[in-house]
Amino acid sequence: MNPRTMTLHDADPLPARVNILGTGVSAVDLREAVRQSDALIRSGGHGYICCADAHSIVEALRDPMHRNALNGAFLTVADGMPLVWLGRLQGRASIGRVYGPDFMLAMCELSVERGWRHFFYGGAPGIASRLRARLGKQFPGLHMVGTYTPPYRPLDSIEEAELAAFVEETRPDVLWVGLGSPKQERFMAQHYGKLLCHLMVGVGAAFDFHAGAVHEAPRWLHPTGLQWTYRLLQEPQRLGRRYLACVPAFLWNVALQTAGLRSFSLDA
């Protein structure tokens, strides 16, 4: 899937991407990601946005389906600081961190003015409803049209039809997907063009953070690239194995790519 077919603005091309281990990461910051999303929705276009971090990049190395989902997105933004540093190392000064929870809040703030309709898909039972309630208090006038909490497995055919009918009925502009990576990227790639919305955005833990179910890392830790250590301390059993496998693999392959000892293609 060519992401450049997802916008109607031929005069407003999508941002350049930097090649990080075979994943094309969009050279945008938070402000530009919101601007691009605004342009897509206002034009009547369709697409999805992936918020990538080191874990997602390593998953893409192992799983071609996940890599294709990232590379087929309207935007794949740098959710983690290591991706920002690597992008700047490749000469893209315009790249900045687009942290999923911050992107969600920025889009909600703008959408009060724009009148966008929001739908929340994902989270543990009760999380999407809590998220909806808290965002409604934070952004009076925010138009939230539905939530759907899926089971911890792929949807069956009846559930797929139910979801599609619900989305068609509510007609959201933005469908937020909080399944965690790589599930949310696969979901968006598989449902792109099937669910009637302009934009799907995978934001992972943003549902838990903004619903008040999980504490975010302190803001001073965000620029250091060590935000993952805070999450690891919160959920060592769930995240320990992930980071033990991810961090060494990411650093090793980045070293090979940076030294020119291994190349990674953006093609499928």
Task: Label residue 193 exposed, middle or buried (CB < 10 Å: 0-12, 13-18, 19+).
Answer: exposed
pLDDT surpasses 50 at 171: yes
pLDDT surpasses 70 at 9: no
pLDDT surpasses 70 at 6: no
CB 9 within 8 A of CB 38: no
Residue 74: name the closest of 106, 36, 20, 100 by CA.
36
What confidence tier does 217 reach under pLDDT thresholds 50, 70, 90? confident
Read off the pLDDT of residues 28-47 as tens digits, 9 standing for 90 and up: 999 999 999 999 999 999 99
**Phi, psi values for residue 12, rounded to 5°:** -125, 75
